[in-house]
Amino acid sequence: MIMGMTIKGDDPLASLEKVNSLNISTCQMYVPPEEWWSKGRLELIKKTMQEKGVRITALLCHFEGESYEDIGAIKRTVGLLNQATREKRVRKILSSSEVARNLGVKVLQAHIGFIPEDRSDLDYKGLVKAVQRIADYCKKNGQSFALETGQEKARTLAMFIEDVNRSTLGVNFDPANMLLYDAEDPIGALDILGKYIIGVHCKDGKRPAKRGELGKEYPLGEGDVDIRRFIDKLKEIGYTGPLTIEREIAGERQIKDILKAKKLLEKLR
Ligand code: MG
């Protein structure tokens, strides 16, 4: 399995340079801001990808006004759950699909927010419709749409995917999120979600000390995911895609942790 990392999209050229400087060959990049969406600038990104030998494996959608401060804020502000911002955000995802198409990127990815456990919930039905629309649009552009795991139970996510019922819909499996959001054992969740895997995040973390709070992210290998078991399980289910390292801090420490994670994964893959 090849290596990857998640990276910001504010300055795509600098980001590609950074990935290359860490000797990593793929990345999942946050959707660049609109000033990068012109034909000329997208061509420049493509040219830099070639020059640096770095492939963007997925574009990560994000939205204005999102807060990961605590569980309440996530429920209110993240993804497509909130009806007040849903339509505007779906449209942004569709535009991002065009950006991805112009860059030759085959996967669009997002946190769509906490999926309600009750199928008769209005928000559940609204989410199904919204994701059907996105998946259909992505299909037209030759892309898959990957949902980031972890904010809900694996069974809820699997039920949701079955209800959306689109072959281009799958998951980006993030084992640490399952601990951060105090959901279930990530390795066990792979038994349920394995057949929908499009990509993975190699991230580590620990559960919250108190119920209802958010857990804490740790450098890879230092949390409770059990990365060795995680990689073994990925092999067992036949995953051959990139191992995308995600470390959600900034600065020198982030670089250090990513390089350490890379070393660890090179031993385990
Ligand atoms: Mg993640």
- pLDDT, tens digit, 9 for 90 and up, residues 7-22: 999 999 999 999 999 9
List C-alpha distances in Å: 113 to 73, 74, 83, 229: 11, 7, 12, 27
- Give the amino acid at 168: T
The answer on pLDDT for 71 being more than 90 is no
**pTM for the model:** 0.96
Ligand 1 center–CA 148 separation, angstroms: 6
CATH architecture of structural domain 3-268: Alpha-Beta Barrel (3.20)
User: Which residues are in the CB-under-5-Å shell of ion ligand 1?
Assistant: 174, 201, 246
The answer to whether residue 89 scores a pLDDT higher than 90 is yes
CA of 177 to the centre of ligand 1 (A): 7
**Quick check: 150 pLDDT over 90?**
no
Q: How far is the C-alpha of 214 from the C-alpha of 153, rounded, in Å?
A: 15
For the chain, which residues make up each domain, given as ranges?
3-268
Q: What is the pLDDT of residues 209-228, one digit of tens each?
A: 998 899 999 999 999 999 99
Q: Distance, CA 74 to ligand 1 centroid (Å)?
A: 14
The helix (run of H) or strand (run of E) holding residue 21 is: helix 12-21
Q: How many Å lie between the centroid of ligand 1 and the Cα of residue 52?
A: 24
Distance (angstroms) between ligand 1 centre and the Cα of 93 equals 18
CA 250 – ligand 1 centroid, Å: 15
* pLDDT tens digits for range 175-201: 999 999 998 899 999 999 999 999 999
Residues 6+ apart with CB under 8 A from 201: 6, 148, 172, 173, 174, 175, 176, 177, 244, 245, 246
CA 101 / ligand 1 centre spacing (Å):
22
In sequence order, the 6+-apart residues with CB closer than 8 A to the CB of 84 are none
